[in-house]
Amino acid sequence: MNIMIPAWVDGTLQPIEKLEAHKLGLKHKAISVFVFHENKILLQRRALSKYHTPGLWANTCCTHPYWNETDEDCASRRLFEELQLTNLHLENRGKIEYRADVGQGLIEHEIVEIFTSTCSKLPKVTPNPEEVMEIRWLDQIELATKVKTNPDEFTPWLRIYMLKHFEQISGTVTA
């Protein structure tokens, strides 16, 4: 299936096939979600079948909205599709733009709408094995340290978020 995502072509937002946007390095829309419980963040390890960054650790979920899909609807949809998470209160934490080489000649150049959700009780998480091979709840400071000491275990975007934008995302200053 060709998934059409919003990307900027000649300064205009247009529907573009997702893989083509990555091949051309076009700036495109994306969402990222961070689910917190106490001082921990829910991380996912990307399935080995993913066409880029397989087997690397990422934030709770991230994806591209479909053409004409709202960012919040997209975030809720992917939380369910990837982790079977529903009924989370999503808080919009603003936009982040980044550009990163994700291997195999592909570029993520994203304008990312960041969402967070803080759960008072540990939610039941059921990973979709086509998307997620493993999950882990990790302390925020421990995650920041791991990203600095073992960056190759993490997706480029999670490294960027942790090293440059984590205070915006969590309200917590990292070491």
SS3 111: strand
Q: Is 138 inside any structural domain?
A: yes
Phi-psi region of 129 (alpha: psi -120 to 50; beta: other; left: phi over 0): alpha
Q: Is 161 inside any structural domain?
A: yes
Per-residue pLDDT, 171: 59
Q: Is 34 inside any structural domain?
A: yes
Token pair recorded at residue 76: 């809720």
For residue 121, give its domain range: 4-170
Q: Is 101 inside any structural domain?
A: yes
pTM of this prediction exceeds 0.85: yes
166, containing H or E segment: helix 166-170
Q: What is the mean pLDDT of residues 13-31?
A: 95
What confidence tier does 172 reach under pLDDT thresholds 50, 70, 90?
A: very low
In the chain, the number of structural domains is 1
Dihedral angle computed from the Cα positions of residues 171, 61, 165 and 112, in that order, rounded to the nearest 10 degrees: -120
Strand-pair category, 27-37 with 12-17:
unpaired
- Closest by Cα among 46, 60, 49 to 134: 46
Per-residue pLDDT, 169: 74
Instruction: Judge whether residue 163 has pLDDT over 70.
Output: yes
CATH number of the domain where residue 112 is located: 3.90.79.10
Per-residue pLDDT, 168: 65
**How many other C-beta atoms are found inside a 10 Å radius of the C-beta of residue 130?**
11
Q: Is 157 inside any structural domain?
A: yes
Q: Is 175 inside any structural domain?
A: no
Report pLDDT digits (tens) over 94-113: 999 999 999 999 999 999 99
List residues with catalytic annotation.
62, 110
